[in-house]
């Protein structure tokens, strides 16, 4: 780092008694509204030339009272708020929330429902990673990669759209079941999409992994050691990039992940390149999971056989009085799903790491049966908050231009960060 | 139900620290004395290797007393053991020691709890609002904060 010197003609023009005019450090605000800040976040940096010597990250620009809103709505109504947490992989958020409430109720989906959920989770994970890698590549000048990857994401979102009618805010799950069975021909389309995704990954791998410009911007930049990553509470691809093989799907299996054959990729150095490579390999592993699910998915019912939780079929609601009453009992204010008092923590592997729901059911003063039709507290453990909290350790002592790839590799999602 | 090894070790060091424990829904939970949270966490981290603070949050049980409950979720990344630790706080004394010295991530988690619940963290070096702005009045996740409450509009001071 060469010493900075003020030019002699500038020095002569400066008032001699005011040393602040001659300081070498400069404060620079990046964001909150900056194209490379993916959403809204503000990084205050102290620069010495182009070197970042100190930085402070400020969040909260997208806070919209997710947890308060969940307390005010019934168990099923809250699912729609979970869509907005990680809006790139909404099905994982929906399904994670439903799994937590189901754990509190002590119910489990039949195998077909679990396979459908696994399929949707992996489709969402690939779309999350595609967005992250594509956007980071674009910021380093690889616009082609961005277009290829968004094309792949489009195929995946078409699959999700065919299943539930929405692309981004999906609301694909309900407490105790899934809203629909799979449409006809959906599994064949899944196989076709996996083939297309593999081709896109291969193309992007050729474009990026041996690309000198890309590798030199990523390698040994934004290094995070395994110990510091654990201390900062990192999970997901970023922690695995630092060399810690922790994946909720492997270590605390849920749905059908323990019945499938797949691997957890890890990095060695904990730099941007490792995080990129881990994400690329994870997409391949997700493709494998999807293929196995398509091959193994059993027939049978999708929803739990529990009339106190799952709405009856429409033919029963409109066809007989029992079905109609059952429907009303689950929809009417003050009735609904009655969840007994208790608390659970349920972690799932989100696109960015451990997405945990800590849900408390506690009877309010109107409750006569010790249950409640809405959550007392829904806490979402956001996977990308720890990464953003530790971000300053990754950008300090690097060049200012390195903030962009480092920040891109963290994959900050404003929706789940600020809730 | 037999006591967890963590429970026995904490009791050995601080006989009055653990108030209760349970294992409902398979989540191992210790309820500890809020004033001794630092000693409890030190035992958990040093003797049992709970090296990750997965989550730190608070629940408001108004009108129950004690009103607030701090909830910590720990994970041992090596052995994949999980443990939940809870500590109850009275409204009149809504303060607890900060865990920043053990886990740097506690910095932001505690700022969030301060912001949304108004719990003070003793020893926290930078306890300011994180989700909301400085001029915000009240702590919105408290049960006596109505969802529809409006806040005064903030603008430039001059």
Which chain A positions have a beta carbon within 8 Å of B61's beta carbon? 362, 376
Give a yes or no: residue B54 inside a domain.
Answer: yes
Range of the domain at B85: 5-93
Q: pLDDT, tens digit, for every residue of A225-265?
A: 999 999 999 999 999 999 999 999 999 999 899 999 999 99
Q: Per the CB < 8 Å rule, is B129 touching A103?
A: no
Interface test with A, best of B25, B62, B138, B147 (most A CBs within 10 A): B25
C-alpha dihedral over A38, A204, A225, B82, to 10 degrees?
A: 80
What local confidence, expressed as pLDDT, does residue A21 receive? Answer: 54
Q: Give CA–CA dist A381/B63, Å, rounded.
A: 26
- pLDDT at B6 exceeding the cut of 90: no
Mean pLDDT of B35-56: 90
- pLDDT at B121 exceeding the cut of 80: yes
What number is the ipTM of this complex?
Answer: 0.90
Give a yes or no: residue B66 inside a domain.
Answer: yes
Give a yes or no: residue B52 inside a domain.
Answer: yes
User: Omega into B63 within 30° of 0, i.e. cis?
Assistant: yes
Considering only CB atoms, A345 lies closest to which of B80, B84, B116, namely: B84
Q: Per the CB < 8 Å rule, is A104 touching B25?
A: yes
Q: Give CA–CA dist A194/A175, Å, rounded.
A: 29
The CATH number of the domain where B71 resides is what?
A: 3.30.460.80
What local confidence, expressed as pLDDT, does residue A239 receive? Answer: 92
Give a yes or no: residue B119 inside a domain.
Answer: no
**Reported confidence tier of residue A5, pLDDT bands at 50, 70, 90:** low
Considering only CB atoms, A389 lies closest to which of B24, B60, B105, namely: B105
Mean pLDDT score across all residues of chain B:
88
Q: pLDDT, tens digit, for every residue of A34-54?
A: 777 777 888 888 888 888 888
Cβ count within 10 A of residue A223? 18
Tokens in use for A418? 């600020």
Counted domains in chain B: 1
Q: Which of A81-85, A154-158, A366-370, B86-90 has the lowest mean pLDDT?
A: A366-370
Environment class of B135 (CB within 10 Å of its CB; exposed 0-12, middle 13-18, buried 19+): exposed
Among candidates A347, A351, A367, A368, which has minimal Cα distance to A359? A347
Give a yes or no: residue B49 inside a domain.
Answer: yes
Give a yes or no: residue B67 inside a domain.
Answer: yes
The reply to whether B71 touches chain A by the CB within 8 Å rule is yes
What local confidence, expressed as pLDDT, does residue B76 receive? Answer: 92
- pLDDT at A140 exceeding the cut of 80: yes
Q: What is the pTM of this model?
A: 0.88
Continuous segment of H or E residues that includes residue A295: helix A272-296
What local confidence, expressed as pLDDT, does residue A6 receive? Answer: 61
**Reported confidence tier of residue A1, pLDDT bands at 50, 70, 90:** very low
- pLDDT at A20 exceeding the cut of 60: no
The alpha carbon of residue A3 is apart from the nearest alpha carbon of chain B, in Å, by: 33
Environment class of B150 (CB within 10 Å of its CB; exposed 0-12, middle 13-18, buried 19+): exposed
Give a yes or no: residue B132 inside a domain.
Answer: no
């Amino acid at each position: 780092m060469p010493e900075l010197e003020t030019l002699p003609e500038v020095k002569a023009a400066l008032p001699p008694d005011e040393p602040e005019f001659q300081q070498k450090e400069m404060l620079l605000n990046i964001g909150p509204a900056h194209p490379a800040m993916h959403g809204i976040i503000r990084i205050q940096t102290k620069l010495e030339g182009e070197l970042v010597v100190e930085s402070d990250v400020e969040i909260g620009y997208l806070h919209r009272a997710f947890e308060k809103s969940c307390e005010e709505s019934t168990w099923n109504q809250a699912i729609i708020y979970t869509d907005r947490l990680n809006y790139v992989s909404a099905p994982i958020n929906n399904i994670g929330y439903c799994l937590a409430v189901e754990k509190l109720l002590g119910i489990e989906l039949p195998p077909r429902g679990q396979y459908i959920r696994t399929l949707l989770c992996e489709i969402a994970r690939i779309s999350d990673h595609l967005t992250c890698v594509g956007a980071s590549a674009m910021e380093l000048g690889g616009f082609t990669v961005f277009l290829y990857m968004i094309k792949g994401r489009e195929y995946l979102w078409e699959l999700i759209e065919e299943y539930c009618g929405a692309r981004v805010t999906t609301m694909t799950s309900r407490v105790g079941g899934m809203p629909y069975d799979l449409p006809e021909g959906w599994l064949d389309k899944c196989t076709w999409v996996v083939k297309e995704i593999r081709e896109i990954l291969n193309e992007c791998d050729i474009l990026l992994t041996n690309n000198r410009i890309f590798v030199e911007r990523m390698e040994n930049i934004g290094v995070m050691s395994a110990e510091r990553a654990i201390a900062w509470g990192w999970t997901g691809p970023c922690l695995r990039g630092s060399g810690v093989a922790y994946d909720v799907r492997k270590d605390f299996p849920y749905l059908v992940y323990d019945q499938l054959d797949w691997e957890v990729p890890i990095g060695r150095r904990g730099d941007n390149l490792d995080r990129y490579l881990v994400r690329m390999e994870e997409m391949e592993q997700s493709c494998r999971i999807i293929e196995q699910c398509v091959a193994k998915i059993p027939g049978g019912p999708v929803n739990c056989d529990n009339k106190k939780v799952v709405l009856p079929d429409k033919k029963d609601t409109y066809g007989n009085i029992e079905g109609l009453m059952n429907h009303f009992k689950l929809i009417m204010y003050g009735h609904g799903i009655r969840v007994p008092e208790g608390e659970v923590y349920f972690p799932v592997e989100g696109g960015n790491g451990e997405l945990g729901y800590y849900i408390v059911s506690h009877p309010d003063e109107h409750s006569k049966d010790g249950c409640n039709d809405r959550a007392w507290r829904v806490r979402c453990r956001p996977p990308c908050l720890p990464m953003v909290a530790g971000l300053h350790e990754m950008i300090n002592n690097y060049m200012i231009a390195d903030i962009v790839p480092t920040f891109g590799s963290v994959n900050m999602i404003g929706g789940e960060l600020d809730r | 139900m037999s006591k967890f090894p963590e429970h026995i070790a904490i009791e050995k060091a601080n006989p009055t620290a653990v108030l209760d424990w349970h294992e409902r829904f398979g989540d191992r939970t210790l309820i500890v004395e809020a004033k001794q949270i630092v000693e409890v966490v030190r035992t958990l981290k040093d003797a049992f290797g709970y090296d990750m603070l997965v989550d730190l949050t608070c629940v408001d049980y108004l009108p129950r007393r004690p009103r607030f409950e701090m909830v910590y979720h720990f994970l041992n990344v090596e052995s994949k053991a999980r443990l939940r630790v809870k500590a109850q706080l009275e409204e009149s004394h809504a303060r607890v020691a900060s865990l920043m010295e053990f886990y740097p991530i506690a910095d932001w988690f505690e700022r969030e709890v301060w912001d949304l619940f108004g719990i003070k963290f003793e020893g926290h070096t930078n306890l300011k609002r994180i989700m909301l702005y400085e001029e915000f009045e009240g702590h919105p996740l408290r049960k006596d904060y109505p969802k529809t409450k409006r806040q005064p509009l903030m603008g430039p001071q001059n």
